[in-house]
Amino acid sequence: MADRIANPESAGPAGGWGSLKSIARIYGETWPTPTAIEALSKQNKPGGVMCVSCAWPKPVNYHPFEFCENGAKATLWDLTNDRCTPDFWNDHTVAELRAWKDHDLEMTGRLTHPMRYDAGTDRYVEITWDEAFEQIGAKLKSLTPNAAVFYSSGHAGLEAAYLYALFARAFGTNNLPQSSNMCHETTSVGLSEVIGSPVGTIVWEDLEKADAFFFFGQNPGSNSPRFLHPLQEAKKRGASIVTFNPVVEQGLVSFVNPQNPFDMLTGHETTISDEYLQVKAGGDIAAILGVCKTVVEADDVAVTAGTKRVLDIDFIQEHTTGFGRFIDCVRHADWKDITRESGLSEQAIRRAGEIYIRSERVIGVYGMGLTQHSQGALNIAMLVNLLLLRGNIGREGAGCCPVRGHSNVQGQRTVGVAEKTKLIPMDRLKQLFDFDPPTEDGMTIVDAVKNLIAGEVRAFVCLGGNLLRAVPEQEEMECSWEKQDLTVMVSTKLNRSHLFPGKQAYILPCLSRLESDVQATGLQSVTTEDSFSHISGSTGKRTPASEHLKSELAIVAGIAKATLFAKPGLKWDEWTADYGLVRDLIEASYPNDFKDYNERMFQPGGFYRGNDAHDRVWNTEEKKAVFTTPDRLNALSFEDRSGRYRLLTMRSNDQFNTTIYGYSDRFRGIEGTRDVVLICAEDIDEAGLEPGQLVSLVSDFEDGKLRELAGLRIVSHNLPRGTICAYYPECNVLNSIDHHDQMSKTPASKAIPVRIRVADTNDI
Ligand SMILES: Nc1nc2c(c(=O)[nH]1)N[C@H]1C(S)=C(S)[C@@H](COP(=O)(O)OP(=O)(O)OC[C@H]3O[C@@H](n4cnc5c(=O)[nH]c(N)nc54)[C@H](O)[C@@H]3O)O[C@H]1N2
Ligand SMILES: Nc1nc2c(c(=O)[nH]1)N[C@H]1C(S)=C(S)[C@@H](COP(=O)(O)OP(=O)(O)OC[C@H]3O[C@@H](n4cnc5c(=O)[nH]c(N)nc54)[C@H](O)[C@@H]3O)O[C@H]1N2
Ligand SMILES: [Mo]
């Protein structure tokens, strides 16, 4: 079988001048004040602001400019000079704005005033904060608590998140789903199952000591570009990088460091991946099984020859369970099945296996390419199997590294934004605040969408995000969303979720973390938790985009105060005046994680809240790390058949989730449009299609529902056969809400079964 190997010549490297040009373009379009650059120079350093973009950790020994293309764009986007004021609504109705693109909605600028929807004119109109809080509180009080959902996107800091969760529980519900329900929930649930930790096990120093990095479905070049610096360093000291990804992602091929003048002037590129294996979407279980087979075979040879074992038998015996069954499965696995299901040749998998064997310390990195599948948790368990074989967890330079998305998505879960009651110290909440927290689990995003469509959810409060655009089953969601009694969106910019207002609907504009947050006791700081479980303080210094903005914490407290009965323990005004008091509460609720919180929050690189699996303490049922025997070879919930494709929904480097900065996906050579579908040349040929042709994608779930996305132009792209790609969030109209990871209910956005339809003809 011919492998699809990345061609480093095919596109420019990640970073480099392309990165600077891309930042400059956003600067030119949003025209922030010149001092915005100063804001960037302080980013991710002690005393500065923690980036509003992703959750990549902040090193102790930071670079002069500890920001990246991604962070720079997000910063400039927030610091734009454009404003979406109440006057904007004089010229536009909500119905009219539904025809606008995501990019154009956000380009209207920062939201400036609290607004209420007026059905008579189909517009949002200005309202005072007090009126807004009062009306929202009155409506919430009229509902049964479980009919309301309190969603959070991962933007808000730990203090606001803690109070938000406290408010929902004091109100009477655990309906606290979060963006991670569409993202790394597979990690929270799946990783906990096998190593007893819901988060990654490595810390920064491990990056500096690893001999090899194995990447599965994570794209640092676009999504966490500061990761490219330690990877470049790793390559310099001779470490290997192996990538499994259906798409050739430029950041995993080569990189020019835009913050290194020598690299920039000479165009010196660092080659990133030593082996790039273009696995089929959903084919990782088979691929990893193949790598494990290579390792086990090498161990058999070592045993026969009497040389050093390849498996870390001492570790396996002391620390793991399920090894015997797993090893049987590996021995019996047939290369024919492995190559068919993975789409990779035996030789290519063996080469990856050889690198794994000769590397003393290995880090397994993963992202949405593993989590967003019907068997996402099994994907993760397979990666853990591979790491366990050679004791690569809980050891210096080795471990498991899920790369989180939003800047505080992990932290919000840590402090209580979670629908699962077992994650919450309910007794402590009861003790601290003198109320009986609800005991029933709340809704995940999938539950919430289903219950919303069924008419059982009557109110949605959203602390950030653009939920209507981020979830599957988008058309039905849009119809159902506006039937609710109440929708409340705490936002910085206008987005599509505002355009389907409930019977009572509010947009509450908040400060960005970059902006100074002055309360009764003075300037406040907030904290966030990164992918390596480090907590860092962040102090915004910029003048707020409007004098009418409130902080997220103040908005949460305002709604809570208007909704709940007054109680001596619920000190909403005092907490708003001094966020340090909220940190004291977090410390009292989670004493092991947040000891000396207020004292340590500005420690360079953040303070580590610890992770038992990092120390080889396994909080699983068996108190051991678990080998999982796969009962299948792919992560799909559907069979292949003629005319059915696996649609992988992708991000460009010119977007942050549903925020579309522009139309330049320069790494993939797609300019000026997002209305494309990427297909490999052989599939285009076989289907009798032509590059450039306009087609629709039609969902191929067997549930009788028509879901279609029209107007996509075919682009020939280097992909495994049967895997096609188109952009998220546009593709969310194609996904069914029942298509999700079996264990965690994370939507399976990386392999949606679809057919291709040519206008006015039958499906191909
Ligand atoms: N610029 C930018 N940065 C972002 C974001 C953004 O939208 N834009 N979003 C933020 C958020 S919330 C998140 S969660 C992270 C997401 O960051 P990532 O986890 O990197 O997410 P994706 O880009 O969706 O997909 C990751 C990679 O998985 C590959 N992939 C897809 N299916 C498979 C598969 O079956 N197997 C394998 N091995 N690979 C597969 C894709 O080709 C892609 O390269 O990024 C954060 N950072
Ligand atoms: N098909 C498909 N669907 C997916 C994915 C996929 O890969 N494919 N990825 C999933 C993933 S990983 C995620 S995380 C979700 C993302 O889903 P969400 O988190 O809901 O969406 P975002 O696009 O991040 O939200 C953008 C909006 O957040 C608001 N905002 C920005 N900054 C702030 C702030 O500081 N505070 C507040 N209060 N609001 C702010 C702005 O109004 C902006 O319009 O989407 C998921 N959906
Ligand atoms: Mo995410």
Segment 65-96, tens digit of pLDDT: 667 777 888 888 888 999 999 999 999 999 99
**Nearest Cα residue to atom 30 of ligand 1:** 369
Q: Is the peptide bond before 729 cis (omega within 30 degrees of 0)?
A: yes
Give the C-alpha distances (Å, rounded to integers) separating 56 from 110, 365, 536: 25, 13, 12
Q: In the chain, what are the domain boundaries?
A: 14-78, 106-180+409-610, 185-403, 645-758
Q: Rounded to the nearest whole angstrom, what is the distance from the C-alpha of residue 191 to the centroid of ligand 3? A: 17
Report the pocket of ligand 2 as residue ranges, CB < 6 Å.
106, 153, 155-156, 179, 182-183, 368, 372, 405-406, 463-467, 470, 490-493, 495, 510, 512-513, 552, 649, 657-659, 728-729, 731-732, 749
- CB of 357 closer than 8 Å to CB of 242: no
**Nearest Cα residue to atom 37 of ligand 2:** 464
Atom of ligand 1 nearest to the CA of 403: 19
What local confidence, expressed as pLDDT, does residue 66 receive?
67
Distance (Å, whole) CA 624 – CA 504? 51
Atom of ligand 1 nearest to the CA of 247: 42
**Architecture of the domain delimited by 645-758:** Beta Barrel (2.40)
Give residue for tokens 């021995």.
331
CA dihedral 172→175→180→181, nearest 10 degrees, is: 160
Segment 346-401, tens digit of pLDDT: 999 999 999 999 999 999 999 999 999 999 999 999 999 999 999 999 999 999 99
Distance (Å, whole) CA 92 – CA 122? 9
**Nearest Cα residue to atom 40 of ligand 1:** 369
Give residue for tokens 């194609």.
734
Atom of ligand 2 nearest to the CA of 406: 14
- Confidence band of 32 (pLDDT split at 50, 70, 90): low
Q: Rounded to the nearest whole angstrom, what is the distance from the C-alpha of residue 449 to the centroid of ligand 2? A: 16
Segment 430-457, tens digit of pLDDT: 999 999 999 999 999 999 999 999 999 9
Q: Same fold for the domain at 106-180+409-610 and the one at 645-758?
A: no
Pairing mode, strands 504-509 and 486-491? parallel
Distance (Å, whole) CA 296 – CA 302? 10
Q: Is 639 exposed, middle or buried (0-12, 13-18, 19+ CB in 10 A)?
A: exposed
What local confidence, expressed as pLDDT, does residue 2 receive?
39
SS (HEC) of 147-177: HEEEEECCCCCHHHHHHHHHHHHHHCCCCCC
Residue 64 has pLDDT above 80, yes or no: no
- Token pair, residue 578, equals 């001094």
**DSSP class per residue in 691-731:** TT-EEEEEE--TTS---EEEEEEEEE----TTEEEEETTGG
**What is the percentage of the chain residues whose pLDDT exceeds 70?**
94
Q: What are phi and psi of 247, to 5 degrees?
A: -105, 140
Rounded average pLDDT over 254-260 = 73
Atom of ligand 1 nearest to the CA of 69: 1
Distance (Å, whole) CA 262 – CA 266? 6
Residue 51 has pLDDT above 60, yes or no: yes
CA dihedral 59→60→65→66, nearest 10 degrees, is: 30
Query: Within 13 Å and on the Cβ side, how many CA atoms surround 348?
Result: 24
Q: Rounded to the nearest whole angstrom, what is the distance from the C-alpha of residue 657 to the centroid of ligand 3? A: 8
Q: Rounded to the nearest whole angstrom, what is the distance from the C-alpha of residue 109 to the centroid of ligand 3? A: 23
Q: Which residues pair with 537 in a beta bridge?
A: 527
Report the pocket of ligand 1 as residue ranges, CB < 6 Å.
54, 70, 183, 216-219, 222-223, 244-247, 249, 279, 281-282, 284, 367-369, 403, 405-406, 648, 650-651, 653, 655-657, 750
Q: Which ligand is closest in space to the CA of residue 404?
A: 1
What local confidence, expressed as pLDDT, does residue 347 receive?
97
Segment 656-670, tens digit of pLDDT: 999 999 999 988 999
208: three-class secondary structure by DSSP: helix
Residue among 477, 481, 472 at smallest CA distance from 503: 481
Q: Rounded to the nearest whole angstrom, what is the distance from the C-alpha of residue 467 to the centroid of ligand 2? A: 7
CA triple 347-350-354, angle to 5 deg: 135
Q: Rounded to the nearest whole angstrom, what is the distance from the C-alpha of residue 181 to the centroid of ligand 3? A: 9
Segment 632-642, tens digit of pLDDT: 999 999 999 99
Considering only the top CATH level, what class is 185-403?
alpha beta
**Nearest Cα residue to atom 22 of ligand 1:** 368
The sign of the torsion formed by the CA atoms of 559, 561, 565, 568 equals positive
Q: Rounded to the nearest whole angstrom, what is the distance from the C-alpha of residue 487 to the centroid of ligand 2? A: 17
Which fold does the domain 106-180+409-610 belong to in CATH? Rossmann fold (3.40.50)
Q: Which ligand is closest in space to the CA of residue 462?
A: 2
Per-residue buried b or exposed e for 141-178, using 16+ beta carbons within 10 Å of the residue's own CB: eebebbbbbbbbbbbbbbbbbbbbbbbbbbbbbbbbbb
Segment 524-573, tens digit of pLDDT: 999 999 999 999 999 999 999 999 999 999 999 999 999 999 999 999 99
